Amino acid sequence: MAIEDVSSRSLTELVSLEGRRAVVTGGAKGIGSAIASRLAEAGADVMLADIDEVGAKVAAQEVAARYGHRAIGSVVDVADPASIAALADRAVLELGGIDIWVNNAGIYPSVPLLDMTNDDWDRVLDINLRGTFVGSREAAQRMIDAGHGGVIVNIASTAGYQAAGPGVAHYVSSKHGILGLTKSLAVELGPKDIRVLAVSPTLIETPGIEANLESFKAAGLDDVLDQMVARLPLGRAGVADDVARVVMFCASDLAGFMTGSSVLVDAGDVAV
C-alpha cells in the first residue's frame, strides 16, 4: 500500500489533526505536556500518560479546557511492557483508536562511568530505549488491527549524534538506539501506511533538566548550563514548545512523505 499523495489539500487541511487520536507518554509536564497541547490545538483528541498519574490528569484537564478537545490523563510506567500495552488498550477504548503515538517519556540521570552500576545502565535503557520500542510495537499493532495507518514519533536527542558530556554514557547509548530503531521501524511499517519519525532536541529547559543540572553543580560544574548555551549558534536554550511544534508538524500531513528520519531541534548544536 502506497502512502497517500496529499498535494491537492490546502495548507489548512494539511495542518489539521481533526478526528485523530493521539497518545503522548511523559505527558504530565515539560515537553510531553507541550506536545499534547499542540496536538490538541491542531484538532486531535489526546491521552496524556505518565508515571505521575495525578500530574497527567491535571495536565489533561488544562489541555481540554484550553482547546475544547477530549484530553484524558492516564498512568503508564514505560519501564513495564505490560503497562504500555494497557495504555494502548485504554486509548483504543476511550479515544476510539490510535492515529498518533509519541514516545516522549525518558530520563536523564548523570552517573560517572566508573560509578555506573548495571542497574543504573538497565534503568535508563529500559525506560528510554526499550520503552520506545514497546510503545512503538503496541501502537503499531493497534493501528494495523484497526485497518489504518498512523504516525509514531520518537523523542530522541542531539545525544543520538554526539557525546553529551561525562556521566551520561547510558543516556547517549539509549538515544543512539532510538535513532536506529526509528529507521528500522520506518522500513518495516511503511508498507502498513505507518510513518515513524524521530525528533532530536538539544538542551531544553524542563523540570527534568533543571533537576539534572543540580547534580552537575553538586559535582562542581556550576557553569555547565552557560557553557552549553554559549555553543549554540541561535544563542539560547530551547523551551518545550520548540519541540512540540516540530512534533505537531511530524504528526500532520505536512510531513506525509517523511519517515525514518530524525528532525533536529537543536539551535545548530550538531552543526558546531
- For the stretch 218-229, pLDDT in tens is 555 556 677 888
Residue 2 is predicted with a pLDDT of: 79
The region that residue 225 occupies, defined by phi over 0 for left and psi between -120 and 50 for alpha, beta otherwise, is alpha
Are 260 and 196 a contacting pair, CB within 8 Å? yes
- Taking residue 267's Cβ as centre, other Cβ atoms within 10 Å add up to 23
Residue 40 is predicted with a pLDDT of: 98
Domain layout of the chain by residue ranges: 11-203+238-265
DSSP string, 180-223: HHHHHHHHHHGGGTEEEEEEEE-SB--HHHHHHHHHHHHTT-TT
Residue 50 is predicted with a pLDDT of: 98
- The C-alpha atoms of residue 142 and residue 140 are separated, in whole angstroms, by 5
- The C-alpha atoms of residue 192 and residue 3 are separated, in whole angstroms, by 9
DSSP three-state, residue 1: coil
Q: Check: CATH 3.20.20.140 for 11-203+238-265?
A: no
User: Global pTM?
Assistant: 0.94
Query: Which distant-in-sequence residues (6+ apart) come within 8 Å of 67 by Cβ?
Result: 37, 40, 41
What distances in angstroms separate CA 11 from CA 40, 51, 253, one per listed residue?
18, 37, 9
Question: Which grid cell is 25?
Answer: 507518554
The region that residue 147 occupies, defined by phi over 0 for left and psi between -120 and 50 for alpha, beta otherwise, is left
What distances in angstroms separate CA 245 from CA 35, 42, 174, 270, 272, one per listed residue?
7, 10, 24, 20, 23
Q: Which of these is catalytic: 67, 108, 161, 171?
A: 171
Residue 226 is predicted with a pLDDT of: 79
Residue 215 is predicted with a pLDDT of: 59
- The C-alpha atoms of residue 53 and residue 192 are separated, in whole angstroms, by 32
Question: Which grid cell is 145?
Answer: 488491527
Query: Which distant-in-sequence residues (6+ apart) come within 8 Å of 163 by Cβ?
Result: 172
Are 144 and 192 a contacting pair, CB within 8 Å? yes
Residue 222 is predicted with a pLDDT of: 57
Q: Is 161 a catalytic residue?
A: no
List the chain pLDDT tens, one digit each, 272 residues. Answer: 678 899 999 999 999 999 999 999 999 999 999 999 999 999 999 999 999 999 999 999 999 999 999 999 999 999 999 999 999 999 999 999 999 999 999 999 989 999 999 999 999 999 999 999 999 999 999 999 999 999 999 999 999 999 877 899 999 999 999 999 999 999 999 999 999 999 999 999 887 666 666 655 655 555 667 788 898 999 999 999 999 999 999 999 999 999 999 999 999 999 98
